[in-house]
Amino acid sequence: MIRFNENYAKLKASYLFADIAKRVTAFTQANPQANVIRLGIGDVTEPLPPACIEALHAGADEMGRRETFKGYGPEQGYAFLREAIALHDFQARGCPIEPDEIFISDGSKCDCGNIQEIFAHDIRLAIPDPVYPVYVDTNVMAGRTGANIDGRYEGITYLDSTAANGYVPAIPSTPADLIYLCFPNNPTGAVATRAQLAAWVAYAKRHKSIILFDAAYEAFIRNPEIPHSIYEIEGARDVAIEFRSFSKTAGFTGTRCAFIVIPKTLAAHDSLGRATPVHSLWMRRHTTKFNGVSYPVQKAAAAIYTDAGRQQTRALTDFYLGNAKLIREAMARLGLPCVGGDNSPYIWVNTGRDSWEFFDLLLHQAQVVCTPGAGFGKCGEGHVRISSFNSRENVVTALDRIAAALK
Ligand code: MLT
């Protein structure tokens, strides 16, 4: 008799964004005339930058000629892309990262979800609340937690992010082996200062732990004091893995390309305390389970680092930040406190009401989709996340409708 992985039974019936999609579909089926504006899932709406499109076409043409055709690429990603990333995203900011410490992948969701596989089963986890649900759910699937009791899984140290701490969690008083951090944060949009990140690096060194640093929204940082990479902090090479994505930076949510940085100096230990490079563990996993991102897509990603590509991607993130500013201003007019939106595409609104109720109110009264904060964890209750990923026209219309609905 085939049996299933019973850890799946501990999960909520469906993934947060699938749950929301179901509610929205039910609403649109019942109200076919409704023109629903989606400011829920952080999915980009603006087309790919011209530099990327040109490179994508050129890559496709190369695949159509015998002399330039390519079969399987290097599993770690083409050197031309890894070299551009190491130079522009890291070395230019003083981070000592080499091209062979970078692994190209088809998305940060997969990377953040898969990385836990290479660590032991009985490690201690520290995970922020609210949080991108992938970090928690993949550890539940792997059997690292107990049951979900009153909205929280046994076996996880939750790092509360609340208005009281500016939505940047404090360092826990107990040791953790694997720590998930995300800055600029999804869902709150909060950013961490150099001093705050340095404190996390010191904590990880003290406890021989590893920080998983999700920097998928790095391209939205405008405050020059805020670090773009954890490797801007001295010593982070020895304690941190960083995740980056082209999804929000350059509109690649449908094109798929991301990367993970694993410094060769980062080690994990066996049960006898002997150190092994995490880089070799991930290399073994990656080459066994992944065959690379397509060549034209990697060409398109590399085009982001050309002069034209850099200008065009900056214009894209500026555009969404312009939407975010409008959203923040509209929330202020409504008297709803919010954070995020200045160095991040997300605005975290303190509604002071049940978050699913507020979600339903906006859907039914304004035909606007947001994301209920409770879907990101217990501390998300009372909040909603509004995404700035949409056209200017839709954002302006959505804000007018929200204002009318809340009057
Ligand atoms: C979100 O809305 O949180 C993101 O789009 C999710 C993702 O990047 O997978």
CA of residue 163 to ligand 1 center, whole Å: 22
pLDDT, tens digit, 9 for 90 and up, residues 132-154: 999 999 999 999 999 999 999 99
pLDDT reading at 12 higher than 90: no
Phi-psi region of 292 (alpha: psi -120 to 50; beta: other; left: phi over 0): left
222-250 per-position pLDDT tens digit = 999 999 999 999 999 999 999 999 999 99
Q: Residue 271's pLDDT band (boundaries 50, 70, 90)?
A: very high
Task: Name the fold adopted by 52-307.
Answer: Aspartate Aminotransferase; domain 2 (3.40.640)
Task: Answer whether 109 contacts ligand 1 (Cβ < 6 A).
Answer: yes
Instruction: Give the model's pLDDT for residue 270.
Output: 97
Parse the chain into domains and list their residue ranges. Answer: 6-47+313-406, 52-307
Q: Are 153 and 9 in contact (CB under 8 A)?
A: no
> Residue 184: what are its φ and ψ, rounded to 5°?
-50, 140
In tens, the pLDDT along 185-213 reads 999 999 999 999 999 999 999 999 999 99
Range with lowest mean pLDDT among 11-15, 217-221, 314-318, 322-326? 11-15
pLDDT 10s digits, 73-91: 999 999 999 999 999 999 9
Beta carbons of 167 and 344 less than 8 angstroms apart = no
The pLDDT assigned to 94 comes to 97
* Distance from Cα 134 to the centre of ligand 1, integer Å: 9
Residue nearest to ligand 1 atom 4, measured at CA: 42
Rounded to whole angstroms, the Cα distance separating 37 from 401 reads: 10
Q: What is the average pLDDT across 367-384?
A: 97
Residue having the nearest C-alpha atom to atom 6 of ligand 1: 42
CA of 41 to the centre of ligand 1 (A): 6
In the chain, % of residues over pLDDT 90: 98
Torsion angle in degrees (nearest 10) through CA of 250, 256, 261, 264: -140
Cβ of 42 less than 6 Å from ligand 1: yes
Indicate the average pLDDT of the chain.
97
pLDDT at 354: 97
Minimum-distance ligand 1 atom for the alpha carbon of 387:
2
pLDDT at site 308: 98
Rounded distance, CA 49 to CA 309, Å?
7
pLDDT confidence band for 181 (50 / 70 / 90): very high
Does the pLDDT at position 102 exceed 90? yes
Whether 13 has a pLDDT exceeding 90, the answer reads no
Residue 24 pLDDT greater than 90, yes or no: yes
Please compute the mean of the pLDDT values over residues 303-330 and round it to a whole number: 98
107 residue type, one letter: G
- Is the CB–ligand 1 distance for residue 188 below 6 Å? no
Q: Is the backbone peptide bond immediately before 187 cis, with ω within 30 degrees of 0?
A: yes
Q: How far is the CA of 277 from the centre of ligand 1 (A)?
A: 30
Q: Which of the four CATH numbers 3.40.640.10, 3.40.50.300, 3.40.50.720, 3.90.1150.10 does domain 6-47+313-406 have?
A: 3.90.1150.10
Q: For residue 41, which atom of ligand 1 is closest to its CA?
A: 2
CA 349 to chain centre: 19
The Å distance, Cα 273 to ligand 1 centre, comes to 37
186 Cβ below 6 A of ligand 1: yes
Per-residue pLDDT at 14: 82
CB of 41 sitting under 6 A from ligand 1: yes
Q: What percent of the chain is predicted at pLDDT more than 70?
A: 100
